[in-house]
Structure 1
């Protein structure tokens, strides 16, 4: 395939979207801007797709699914995924610069994601040849052989957020390629550029036309038609709980399968015996990483009362020492929020925390001095004196804001930690093995980390409880989400 546009640029030029192996404009001819959140500069324009473009992309995906792609053997899909991983590795710096410029992720953190993303691609490559059914003894009359087959579900519609474009794209596309599905991916309008770069790399790797399609547009104009489309067999979505609920309603038309990874308000529990040298930086970066724009942020920090004041003082000192700036600077530890709108949202929570009686320990302000003036920067913030009923302790902020809450007993903290509509993740800091096992068992969360945080492995399922969604990404559970199981009975007497 000939790539009909130059290699990924971040200079204000126009980018096209990728449908059926071709770089195309929106049917309407409309475009939209994407801006660098560190300085507000327009870095590209992209097509503003609508319903007609979604129809075109779904048709391309269906034709590919029914065409040559359906004849790819598992080992051929495996080789393709390994080629993609090689290209990702070769162009990793380019991918990192794209993520940093488009959504603000500090480039040091982006570079550090290489093992995770490349590991996912190579894990899916390994799993492509490990998908199989089983033979089953049965008690039916006559001589009947029965077995099951695992078959690709079909056309997958994937809708991803702006806070992790590379990882989110691979988490959706990788298992689809491994299982033999095709994909229409709708990236966030806030950060569409890395998925378009990924489309270039996949075309270069030899992914057949129509197997992977990238459609840029808004959630209302492109995401909703994708969720509703009768030709889509499955929707995978990462984003807010409210949007996830809308997707479930939209999926009812053809009862398409749905996997949702939604919001969170994750608890982190620091016990009296915790190693504070380890716990302080890990608890801090469980929230401050990516400027708090992570669904698994451990933003409810429960600290044993005996060590609460010391821990909060150490946490505040750590937060005050973090380097804030443009993510393209390798020394930057905290980058900008994605947009002025998100900045206003976070500032609203900062005001609410103070108005409801929480004590501001550190941060709590927008940073607009010097080079930060044109960006969407908020200082890493810690509130103490927080009650469980305050908005900052109940609602997902998606910003660098920690609420510190003291506790007295394990039974009490488990009850309070679970008293949330969410259940995506949780953290525990303790040196006692029995406490670690007890809390891991009792916390209602899809992932529990002990003496660490943010550890995500391609082989381990990830997903939520309650209103944090359903379905899993990672592990064999992930591949099953993209497969149908067929029972076959053959009478041989």
Structure 2
């Protein structure tokens, strides 16, 4: 303000702090002239601020709506400011929520932060806008500044689509389209029943259809009126024209009258209930009045629209009003009124009218395809479709959209860029390169150079990619990043890491760059810093609007690290912590990792996923080798041979010579053990250390039950492999299987492995625990065996308490092995008791696999009893019969 009150009198009041006696400040004592000046300034400010009529007039000139609507807008603006102002004052207080079991939750609300909003042109003051009403938006900014709003709190940016794109993609904007609900409407139903107050209903219908020239998203442009008169009813004043030829003749008369200059005041046409006008969105001052007969009919027709923003019902029957409001698929339903919107009431919709939040791309694609079908040349529909397809990784369809846009709008180079990017992402490298060379805009040449380098990189033409990267300016940090990518591809991980770290120091934090750094650490097996960078990506992604692609990359890499560290549960947890997606939305890397890390529990599903990936282009490079190795692990050697034969062209690209030779030897041993041994011997001479780690040549002797020969092979590798748990485990198995009582030696190898994992003993393989218990028993260490079994039982009880439906078989397998051992040694009474105990409780332990091993002991018992080679007490026989009865009962559902 120009007139600022100034106090110039030299006398002062002193204000004092009550706890510390000292002067805080000096305040002037106003005189009569000062009071007069303050009042004068206040009156002048009131006059200048009392300008709602001036703002309303400006709204009319800028927006086109009638003056009375603009005045209503002023009241709405005041209400919005009062509501949100009060909310800022006390709306962020916490709230208590009672929970089951006597607990409670305390929920606090916090401001989101910086928000970029693109508002609606027909309400420029409530939602400051850009499209057709820029003047009013600027006036609002001036008013807020005069009101004392600090600089920077409210900013108006004028522009077109490119400006909006810059806003929505800015990294510092914390609220983007993912948090916005679209207000697609314009076909809201307004239902008028025969008992409605006709005057009020007509007033509501006019408001619903012609408010703001019909250009309001919630307008009820489908007015359902009960009813066309039934000639048999007493209250019907006009009947129906039932003869088709006569009806056509009447319509012809009306047509001729119109041609002669007559004006049809009302009616004069056939009723078209399901035409484009009543079903499509006209967004103008057009009302469609449609007759109906019953409640069920009108509800069905009212919901027969892809939109669901709003609706209305006019009736004097309150029960009917609630019934209809509950039945209409709309975010808001007004009763005996329409278009009453206040800040306190939520405003959002169902179906196509509420899909703008959280980047629901697939839902948006359905809507846009609906629009595209009716208008195939719609620039907006094609552009948004391309965008949505791109971010759902449907790059082929995205390319199709941008191809059409380049044909319709050849002057827009951006569409060619998006077209080339989509082709590149779809791995159509040759087509993408052709498009890039067609772009002659000098402003885009630098970007095209980088895209061409990426295409060469994708084609694995590293020399070509390097030559293009070298043409890029060194001042661009992305040049260093691209050089780092090339070094990574060449296996020079340390050098690549240095490039990525240097780029990060220049441009600051970037999730994709942090991922590259983590990936390099992973490749050199430096897992601690890799996990630190992954944690940063996840933490920053959760604190602000996350980039889903970055989070998916981070969680996949975390899962890979945990898997290599043998933390299988942590790896599986990392995969489940990803942003939720349906299976058909999963990327190839996630699908591969799911297959690999759940192979123990879901082998069939894992094989299906790996086989599916192998048919895709491209697929993760590890897929081919992992599928072959897993087939061999599960002894599906024929399938492995088939995959190798059908994909010979992939062999040299994805399998190292050593891995190929190793797989070939594994597969050969099924048909020719001697040839397989020779192949393994050749591999051994080339890669002694790797062979000693794998020790797969011993598998031939193992299958031949020549365990002493297997032991000799292990002894040759002791100096190289004695620190490997896998090697120790294999040695323990070999010693355990020998019949010359090497259980004590086997215990020496099993025990350290089990003790290392004693606190989480269920992470140890059940067969290892069973073999250790047997070794204890066979060396008269029964107390140690009992302690181990009690530990397993306690851990299983804990698991059952946390998840009652989860099945754990460790103790079952231990008892089965011990029972089978005693039966083999002739002690059937004790052995059979352990087998029976192994399957309790039957509903959790009885299955095809457990029954397969349990029945062998019983068959052996029956065989020896029938041959009169053994005798057992009657109580044992009764216990066996009772056990078999239980198996029959519980086994029916297996």
TM-score by length of 1: 0.52
Report the secondary structure of 1:166's partner residue: coil
Task: State the number of aligned residues.
Answer: 285
Q: Note if contact 1:382-1:403 (Cα within 8 Å) is conserved in structure 2.
A: no
Aligned to 1:111: 71
The structure, 1 or 2, with the larger RCO (C-alpha pairs under 8 Å, 6+ apart) is 1
Return the match for 1:95 from 42, 47, 55. 55
Aligned counterpart, 1:446 = 331
Secondary structure class of the residue paired with 2:58: helix
The reply on whether 1:258 has 2:180 as its aligned counterpart is yes
Residue 87 (structure 1) shift:
10
The match for 2:352 is: 467
Q: Is the 8 Å Cα contact of residues 383 and 401 (structure 1) preserved in structure 2?
A: no
SS in 2 for 1:422: coil
Distance 1:222 1:100, change over 3 A: same
The 3-state SS of whatever aligns with 1:462 is coil
- Shift in Å at residue 447 of structure 1? 1.2
SS at match of 2:116: strand
Separation (CA, whole Å) in 2 of partners of 1:468 and 1:295: 10
Return the offset for 1:137.
Answer: 8.7
Residue 409 of structure 1 is matched in structure 2 by 294
Q: Does 1:300 align with 2:259?
A: no
Q: Per-residue displacement from partner, 1:45-81 (whole Å, max 9, x unpaired)?
A: xxxxxxxxxxxxxxxxxxxxxxxxxxxxxxxxxxxxx
Distance in 2, Cα, partners of 1:451 & 1:123: 25
Question: What is the distance in 2 between the residues matched to 1:269 and 1:138?
Answer: 41
Give the conservation status (yes or no) of the 8 Å contact 1:463–1:470. no
- Partner Cα distance (1:152, 1:117) in 2: 21
Residue 135 of structure 1 deviates from its aligned partner by: 6.1
Normalising by structure 2, report the TM-score.
Answer: 0.29
Please state whether the residue corresponding to 1:152 is helix, strand or coil: coil
SS of match in other structure, 1:448? strand
Say whether the 8 Å CA contact 1:264–1:423 is kept in structure 2.
Answer: no
Determine if contact 2:122/2:215 at 8 Å carries over to the other structure.
Answer: yes
Change (3 A) 1:133 1:193: same
Cα distance in 2, alignment partners of residues 118 and 383 from structure 1: 46
Q: Over alpha carbons, which structure has the higher Rg?
A: 2
Displacement after TM superposition at 1:457 (Å): 2.3
Residue 150 (structure 1) shift: 2.2
Q: Corresponding residue for 1:193? A: 135
Whole-Å separation in 1 of the counterparts to 2:99 and 2:144: 44
Contact 1:383/1:403 (<8 A) preserved: no
Change in 2 beyond 3 A, CA 1:427/1:456:
same
Tell me the distance in 2 between the aligned counterparts of 1:296 and 1:208: 34
User: Is 2:213–2:284's contact at 8 Å kept on the other side of the alignment?
Assistant: yes
Partner residue of 1:435 out of 306, 317, 320: 320
* Aligned match of 1:163: 122
Deviation at 1:385, TM superposition (A): 4.3
Deviation at 1:471, TM superposition (A): 8.2
Whether contact under 8 Å (1:382, 1:401) holds in the other structure is no
Q: Displacement, 1:88?
A: 11
Structure 1 unaligned spans of 5+ = 3-85, 170-186, 236-250, 314-356, 362-379, 473-482, 485-493
**1:426 matches 2:368:** no
Which residue in 1 is equivalent to 2:197? 275
Instruction: Tell me which protein shows more helix as a share of its residues.
Output: 2
Q: Structure 1's 299 and 442: CA in aligned 2 closer, same or farther, altered over 3 A? A: same
User: Matched residues in 1 for 2:298 and 2:85: separation?
Assistant: 42
Pair 412,146 (structure 1): closer, same or farther in 2 beyond 3 Å: closer
Q: In the alignment, which residue of structure 2 is the partner of 1:202? A: 144
Moved over 4 A (4+): 86-89, 134-139, 144-148, 306-309, 380-386
8 Å contact kept, 2:130–2:137: no
Higher strand share: 1
Equivalent residues in 2 for 1:64-143, closer than 5 Å: 90-128=50-88, 129-134=90-95
